[in-house]
Chain A
């Protein structure tokens, strides 16, 4: 059991900032100052970052959609359409804030906030780096984020019902059906990873994966690798993203649960969707994809070194690098979410329920049992890489040779998959015609003779 490995050293509120400020000013650490810093971090870092992410992601989504469907996407406002979302934002802010006649006014006005706040609150438990987690001592971090994200559903359902519109109500009811079906596979696929790692604390989960690619949780055994896929599918459903965008399904229900919303309240739903996309991608990164660690275990190694020698400058640099890696991995997953959205058609609601309850649910049960049995049969190395064992020295793996072989093999499989996709996309990129023209010129692309 490795829980609480780091909890003695980890400080409340981004510990690193606190340490830097206390070192620079010579002040004694004070809970009031830490508390105030918490507010500053939330107001000055998380909120603008999420806002900026949503604005950029909407532009990227439209660009991705355009290119996947042989269109151009936004390209008029600003260079390659970069300012399109800003223009949309101005439009949304200046729009009239309508409340339909006969709507439940209170719930109608409240619903967008109920939808947005949980996605925002979930960021507090995410580990962006070894010292860059808002609440590193949250022992039930994974479970907490899951619970908080579940609240978002209520905003969608209350908003849909309160609109006094049958399309919106249908959207809300579909969302309710969908929740009942995807929640269990989502939770079970997370449990598979948690059972392998042996902790619910997200920072500890990160530290456990610091020994290079083969120590990432996804490569611990084949069952975890499959539950990565199950989690991804269930997380698409939880974000109401196509192919599971039944609550919105604009071809049948106008715009589903947010049919009656306009202006800023409508954009709150959008912000909630994109924030939730980032949150589920971050959870996936932290749980399966090695959190903030690079594939070679360098960050884990140097973090251990710098902590031992108390090198604050090194730790600051390392943490920012780690945050970059963490966010980079999450953004790559967000890109895959967009890619899937614009590639796959939408199934009917009964097909969604079938897929979640009759396919994913039994599959995730099998994966959970399989993963537990695997852990019983194959002896594994326990402990934090670099702190308790050297992940690259065969001596450390003595007695756990089966685990090492599996992990290295699975890591190679993973590298092969990613490499194949990158090569494929790269090939299309190189051989595609007139790439620059596609990105910038609104006029039709001339046929090659």
Chain B
């Protein structure tokens, strides 16, 4: 094996390359979401951005979070596309153009967000603890927490979601009855 390769730390190089590749995918698709005027294309770009973020989670050894990200957001973009196709007619309305005022407002909000995030990034001192190999795997800890220590809040949130679902079903049904 060439010495130059042996000297490079494998993990640093591999994670570096993968990080920048994934970050590029996420950034480009995020730009695509903003720029594209076609609603289905926007959803497709959003999908790539979210899957790229899942890849970043994998790089951080958070496979569970990555899998959840994929499962939840693929479903989410799916629904978005269905609405995009079903609630708008095929011909004209599928393209969503923004007016000049909206663009200006969006730019201002974006700039403020960017400034805030940059400030936070610059002013925070990040500490990172290496993972303890003896500790139970995060999924086990997560499961114990959700169904043990935090059972009541977890179930309460589920009840709130159930209420939302019932409400949505009721509204949809009432509307259909009027017709």
**Given A1-B140, A140-B64, A31-B10 contact (CB < 8 Å):** yes
Report the nearest B residue to A7, measured CB to CB.
Answer: B137
Assuming A154-B74, A154-B77, A161-B81, is B137 touching A104 (CB within 8 A)?
A: no
Which residues of B from 52 to 67 have beta carbons under 8 Å from A?
Answer: 63-64, 66-67
Among A54-62, A145-153, A207-215, A289-297, the one that faces the other chain is A145-153
Q: Which residue of A lies closest to B5 (CB)?
A: A32
CB-CB under 8 A from B85, the residues of chain A are 161, 169, 172-173
Q: Give the total of A residues in contact with B, Cβ under 8 Å.
A: 36
Q: Are A144 and B63 in contact (CB under 8 A)?
A: yes
Shortest C-beta distance, B76 to chain A (Å), equals 11
A180 / chain B contacts, CB cutoff of 8 Å: 75, 78
Residues of A in contact with B (beta carbons under 8 Å apart): 1, 3-4, 30-33, 35, 104, 106-107, 110, 138-140, 143-144, 146-148, 150-151, 153-154, 157-158, 161-162, 169, 172-173, 176, 179-180, 183, 200
Q: Is the CB of B1 within 8 A of A173?
A: no
**Least CB separation from A150: chain B residue:** B74
Chain B residues within 8 Å of A161, by CB: 40, 81, 85
10 nearest CB pairs, A to B: A31-B10, A147-B70, A147-B67, A147-B71, A143-B67, A140-B64, A139-B137, A144-B67, A140-B63, A176-B82
Looking at the assembled complex, report how far the CB atom of A272 sits from the nearest CB atom of chain B, in whole angstroms: 16
| Dominant secondary structure at the A interface | helix
User: A113 → chain B, closest Cβ, in Å?
Assistant: 12
Cβ 8 A contact of B40, one of A110, A158, A183, A200: A158
Question: Contacts A31-B11, A32-B1, A148-B70 known; A107 to B40 CB distance under 8 Å?
Answer: yes
Chain B residues within 8 Å of A, Cβ to Cβ: 1, 5-6, 10-11, 14, 38, 40-41, 44, 47, 51, 63-64, 66-68, 70-71, 74-75, 77-78, 81-82, 85-86, 90, 136-137, 139-140
Contact assessment for B70 and A176 in the assembled complex, using a CB-CB cutoff below 8 Å: no
A157 and B139 form a contact (CB under 8 A): no
Q: A30-B6, A32-B10, A104-B38 are in contact. Are A150 and B82 (CB under 8 A)?
A: no
On whether the beta carbons of B86 and A173 are closer than 8 Å, the reply is yes
Judge whether A107 and B41 touch: CB under 8 Å.
yes
> Is B41 within 8 A of A104, CB to CB?
yes
The listed residue with most B CB atoms (<10 A of its CB), out of A30, A161, A162, is: A161
